[in-house]
Structure 1
Amino acid sequence: MYTTDDPRAALGGSGVASGIAAPEYHDFSGSGRRTEITRAQNVVLAYTRPSAGESLGKGEFRFEHVLLLVHHSSAAEVVAGDGKVSLRGQGMIVIPPGISEIVSLGEGDLVRLIQPDEADWASRARNAASYAEPHPRVTPLTPWPAPAEDRLRFYPLADVPEDPKRFGRIFRTRAFMVNFLAPQEGPRDPSKLSPHHHDDFEQISLAVEGEYVHHIRTPWTTDSRAWREDDHERAGSPSVTVIPPPTVHTSAAIAAGRNQLIDIFSPPRKDFSAQPGWVLNEEEYPEDVR
């Protein structure tokens, strides 16, 4: 990009605006806390290491929220209104607005995705100060169209076969898109990384198994005082990495055993939604056509 008084500015082309946020890294692997809460612009993420039979609490929510079962040992029962569902193994439960309660049925970890405008949730995030003011490059959340009815929905990953024509296993709600990426055994081939960027949305990369290096490059603006060195951040599991737009990024598994990431976006991605068969529950959630 060029400054406005530079004659080359008339040539057009894609520019990079100022105000690029720094990436954030939240590694919970050494934490002794039962629940860790962090956030991005449009989502609050609560990561809980529960005991079997433990309630995560009963609460009232104005909007849908999401429960992710991130390990094969994860299990949960959710009661919302007159409905009740239970799920064992990896998967996702969508919880409708109103009063609900989550009870862990296993030892595996559980993750809640909550809109920041739910009372008190955003203020509980460990990085709440980072979002005291909205990040100007991130598109604000406008929820996508409502489903035909508000009810509990559950999606076990065991029912989803791997398909090389589809990128991961993607589910969406009105506010969130979740992609359970395929586990990788051993380190990623360093000659086959995938650096890319997003113009106007954050990517939340949740590491649930293994270890990763997140490579993130902040584009240069006209103000060299805002330039940053490239990041090559090592993160264990569980950990949350918030990748801001329009940074160039790619992640590489480095552990010898099983490595798995779950990518989270808010609002849902239109480019992924446009790919036939990629969003596994697209029939239940209408696409935003604005």
Structure 2
Amino acid sequence: MAYAKDDLRSVLAAPAGKPNTGAPISAPQFLDFSVTPPDVQSGSGTNQWISRGQNFVLIYTEPAAGDLVWKATLGTEQVLLLIDEHSAITGTAGDETHEVSGPALVVVPPGESAITSTGTGPVVQLIESGETEWAAKASNAAAYAEPDAHVAPLEPWPEPVGGYRWRTYLMSDVPEDPKRFGRLFRTRSFMVNFLKAGTGPRDLSKMSPHFHDDFEQASLVVAGTYVHHIQTPWGTDGRQWRPEDHALVGSPSLAIIPPPTVHTSQGVGWRANHLIDIFSGPRHDFSARPGWVLNAEEYPAPAAG
């Protein structure tokens, strides 16, 4: 992996590089919601885009204040991302009601839940793709008609300490720490790096091309403009080669980056550029770094061995 010396990820162990199974490497997907119409629209103006990866479903909502944006029953937890200070919800789970304003990450327990937007800022939902009703609604569902052989199946991590319940993590409660990479949270099935927004273009001399052995990376752009640079390794079968991707995307947009492609993302907008990274399941390498995962005491890692 190519990380600059001052990049905190330079301390991570390099991926092992798994043997070539002969299975084709999937193509990256660039789902730019800024130029594609929504999959669902309400009469009062709420717009929703529904996309998926192998192990997750993502619903991106631009709400009208007061709209009910979700009411359903799930067998698993879901994660809500309230992107900015204009994002606000009233949510019910079981017989409890909760009010949250963003930016924040919220974990909703399994069972019936309802979410009403009380603001106009974006709301993002992360759901396991094992919730097949929702996986089938994704605009890119056809890309997963056959599972990607390079992506490990989701194996949920241990249940949360104290059992399932509504959990709220406000970004305003997260102190600055130069020894920690981003703002990492995990659940049984997800890891989210709620990175802070940057201003202006990324320093081209400090790019970070790297790859993952067996998990997808979903990069959600919520502000600004990015170029996703992705290179598919060449194998012995030249029929599977593809040119490099240098995909220019706006916001909001979702890039799904398959393993073991080499990738890095470059903010190029001159104003705010804001990207959030999503993984399903949680990353072992990030979890092994002391202090990196902010809610590690609530969502324990699997026992070693």
Query: TM-score of the superposition, structure 1-length normalised?
Result: 0.93
**Aligned match of 1:106:** 119
Secondary structure, in 3 states, of the residue corresponding to 1:78? Answer: strand
**Aligned match of 1:56:** 69
Residues 1:202 and 1:14: Cα distance change in structure 2 (over 3 Å) = closer
- Is residue 2:204 matched to residue 1:199? no
Is the Cα contact below 8 Å between 1:96 and 1:152 reproduced in 2? Answer: yes
Task: Please point out which of 209, 221, 224 is paired with 2:235.
Answer: 221
C-alpha deviation, 1:16, in angstroms: 3.8
**Aligned match of 2:135:** 122
Identity of aligned residues (%): 55
C-alpha deviation, 1:85, in angstroms: 1.8
Using the TM superposition, name which of 259-268 and 110-119 deviates more. 110-119
CA RMSD of aligned residues (A): 1.2
C-alpha deviation, 1:82, in angstroms: 2.0
**Aligned match of 2:262:** 248
Q: Distance in 1 between matches of 2:48 and 2:18?
A: 42
Could you give the per-residue CA deviations for residues 100-144 of structure 1, whole angstroms, max 9, x where no partner exists? 101111000100000112141011001101101110000100111
Secondary structure, in 3 states, of the residue corresponding to 2:30? Answer: strand
Task: Please point out which of 172, 184, 200 is paired with 2:186.
Answer: 172
Q: Which runs of 5+ in 1 are unaligned?
A: 1-12
Could you give the per-residue CA deviations for residues 183-241 of structure 1, whole angstroms, max 9, x where no partner exists? 11000011100000000000000000001000000001110110110100001000000
Task: Please point out which of 124, 149, 154 is paired with 2:168.
Answer: 154
- Is residue 2:80 matched to residue 1:89? no
- Is residue 2:279 matched to residue 1:265? yes
Is the Cα contact below 8 Å between 2:32 and 2:254 reproduced in 1? Answer: yes
Using the TM superposition, name which of 81-90 and 264-273 deviates more. 81-90
Matched length: 278
**Aligned match of 1:22:** 27
**Aligned match of 1:36:** 49
C-alpha deviation, 1:32, in angstroms: 4.0
Is the Cα contact below 8 Å between 2:93 and 2:111 reproduced in 1? Answer: yes
Secondary structure, in 3 states, of the residue corresponding to 2:136? Answer: helix
Q: Which amino acid aligns with 1:155?
A: Y
Is the Cα contact below 8 Å between 1:71 and 1:208 reproduced in 2? Answer: no
Query: TM-score of the superposition, structure 2-length normalised?
Result: 0.89
Q: Which amino acid aligns with 2:208?
A: S
Runs of 4+ with >6 A deviation: none
Secondary structure, in 3 states, of the residue corresponding to 2:206? Answer: coil
Is the Cα contact below 8 Å between 1:177 and 1:268 reproduced in 2? Answer: yes
**Aligned match of 2:250:** 236
- Is residue 2:291 matched to residue 1:277? yes
Residues 1:153 and 1:159: Cα distance change in structure 2 (over 3 Å) = same
Q: Distance in 1 between matches of 2:19 and 2:156?
A: 28
